[in-house]
Every structure is written in structure tokens, then in C-alpha cells.
Amino acid sequence: MKISKDIAEAAQLLKEGKVVAMPTETVYGLAANALDPSAISEVFAVKERPATNPLIVHIHSLDQLAPLVVERSPNAQKLAEQFWPGPLTLLLKKSDRVSDQVTANSPYVAVRMPKHPVALELLKAVSFPLVAPSANRYTTVSPTTAEHVLQNLGERIPLILDGGPCEKGLESTVVGFDSEDRPLVYRLGAITLESLQSVIQESALFEAPPSGPTHSPGSAKKHYAPSTPLKVVEDLKAFLTHYSGSEKIGVLSFGHENLTTRQTTVVELSQTRDLEEASRNLYRGLYALDEAKVDLIVVEWFENKGLGRTLNDKLKRASF
């Protein structure tokens, strides 16, 4: 296993059917040829992911999209024009070229055009589309640096393509469409509900039916979890003031002052309470506090709008 900046070498390995980690603007992905069944099986194996949880297909151009899908609804077209390349994943009716293995037997394929220049260059170098789930073991925290990938996956893959720290630090927003072509958010991510609504006002959050199978497995209750227990509180200062336990506490601060006491390790998400900066730093903070071997990680809920809504969604699953 090595960490490398050599795009040609990564492309060569992908052409040989191998799995390599690649940077994107959201999180690092575990890339493989989306048209090669054995390479796709290897992705599921490396991730220890159940075959029932489908993969996102990554493309570099709309020309590359055409053969993968049978139709693009007007609203899908509109969102693609507005947000691609970028952190938006669209659920579209798949063509026969996309296997049931990729979509876990769904007639819809998840597609996205990433914005990271290294990802785009790699996609152009191989010429086939790439499946790329986040480059972490199933249910654990998505990696936002090459070092995190190494920390999470160790020696399981031959190469990690290093593109520096991810600009967004949160996964893409996954959007499907109902029978009236209304956008439904299946996974909150780097694109906010509000910014979708500024393009298509009817955009809404998908509410899973109370029973029956979840439509998008990524909406699993436990997800993005660090190995250390995580507690989300209403008031961080009050929690720490009243805390009488003896555990070593790791704190994710959002511009809080004077949090350090004898028993705390503080990671600052954003001194200036900037949500984009906090998004970029959340997973990095969870990795750092796992490494610091604290007994408990504590963080305060964000105001529930914009990226704060996405951050709260991740915290809810990470603490489940």
C-alpha cells in the first residue's frame, strides 16, 4: 500500500481491475471500474459493505452519463446543470449498461460528477465510469484526508491517491424524484436543502415510511460512527460544568471559549462559527479524537438549518 500523487499509476491499477482510493471534494472514495463485476465485488469486500447497499457511479461529463441512464427528467436536468460538477448525487432510471450489482437491484442508479480536479483527471484517464463509496469500513467515519483512508483501511488496497484535504468534508447530497418529478433528498450532504429549494422550490426531505424497507440504505440509523462513544448535547458548557464522571473527554468546539479543563481534549471545528469550516473539520475532528484515545466525545447540536441541518443529521447517526 502506498500514498501517491501519481494519477497515471492510479489509472493503470484501475484498468487492471484494482480498487484505489481517490480524493473528491466531499470525502475520499474507494474507486473501481463501474463496468467490471469483479472490481465491484472487491469494493464491497474491502468496505465490508452488505451487497444490499448500492454504489454511486462517478462521471466526468454529461456525455459519459448518457449511456448509463434511460431518462433525465426536467428537474434532474436542471439540478445537474446547476450543481455539477459538485457534491450532488442524482438517482436516475438506469440503463442495461449499469448492473444490478451496482444498484443493489434497484432500477435507479446514483450518479455524480465530482468537482475535485484530481478525480476529474483520473476519470478522464481511465475513460470508464467509477463506482466510489466513501473509503471507509461500513458504518465508520468517512475519510477527508489520505491519512484517514490509511487509518481506516490499512493495507487493504494497493494505492491511495492523495489530493489533499477535502474541500467540503461531508458527503454529497443524494436526491431522487417522486412521480411528479419533485426532488426528494434521500441523504443530506454538502448541498443544503435551502440551496436545492433556491433552484426548485418544491424540493423536500424524503420521509421514510415508518415500517417496511428503507429505500436508500444510506439512511441507516447508525452510520458515520467513530469508535469512541459520541454524545450530542443542547449546551456544551453546561454539560462540562456539571459533568462529574472520571472519563477523559474529547470536545468538538464550535467557537466556544474556555472549554479546556484538566480532563478535556478540545478540537475546534470553527473559531468564527463558520458552518462551511465546521463541515470541513467534523470528520477530521472525529478521527483526531479517536486517535487521542478519549473515552467520550461531546459536541453541541447546531442550529437546524443550512449546513447545520446536515451536521445534525450526521451527529444523530454517529451517536446512535
Instruction: Please tell me whether residue 172 binds Mg ion under the rule CB under 5 A.
Output: no
Q: Which of 242, 258, 259 is nearest to 250 (CA)?
A: 259
For the bound state, the minimum distance from the C-beta of residue 181 to ligand TXA, rounded and expressed in Å, comes to 17
| Helix/strand/coil for 119 | helix
Among the candidate windows 22-30, 143-151, 291-299, 311-319, which touches ligand TXA by CB under 6 A?
22-30
Taking CB under 5 A as the rule, which mask of x and - marks residues 126-155 in contact with Mg ion? Answer: --------x---------------------
Which of ligand TXA, Mg ion, none sits in contact with 27, Cβ below 5 to 8 A by type? ligand TXA
- In the complex with ligand TXA, which residue's Cβ is closer, 23 or 285? 23
CA dist., res. 37 & res. 50, Å (int) = 15
Q: Which grid cell is 113? A: 460528477
Q: Which residues ranging from 69 to 108 are in contact with Mg ion (CB under 5 A)?
A: none
Among the candidate windows 60-68, 104-112, 150-158, 249-257, which touches ligand TXA by CB under 6 A?
104-112
Which of Mg ion, ligand TXA, none sits in contact with 275, Cβ below 5 to 8 A by type? none
Instruction: Please tell me whether residue 26 binds Mg ion under the rule CB under 5 A.
Output: no
DSSP for 83-105?
A: H-SSSEEEEEEB-TTS-HHHHTT
Instruction: Please tell me whether residue 218 binds ligand TXA under the rule CB under 6 A.
Output: yes
Q: Which grid cell is 162? A: 492523495
Q: What angle separates helix 275-291 from helix 146-153, to the nearest 10 degrees?
A: 40
Instruction: Please tell me whether residue 98 binds ligand TXA under the rule CB under 6 A.
Output: no
Instruction: Please tell me whether residue 53 binds ligand TXA under the rule CB under 6 A.
Output: yes
The helix (run of H) or strand (run of E) holding residue 32 is: strand 29-33
Question: In the block, which residue shows the cell 487509518?
Answer: 151
| Count of residues in contact with ligand TXA, rule CB under 6 A | 29
- In the complex with ligand TXA, which residue's Cβ is closer, 139 or 319? 139
In this structure, the strands spanning 29-33 and 130-131 are antiparallel
For the bound state, the minimum distance from the C-beta of residue 181 to Mg ion, rounded and expressed in Å, comes to 27
| Count of residues in contact with Mg ion, rule CB under 5 A | 1
DSSP for 263-293?
A: TEEEEES-TT--HHHHHHHHHHHHHHHHHTT
Angle at 318 between CA 317 and CA 319, to 5 degrees: 90
Question: Which residue's C-beta sits nearest to ligand TXA?
Answer: 218
For the bound state, the minimum distance from the C-beta of residue 115 to ligand TXA, rounded and expressed in Å, comes to 10
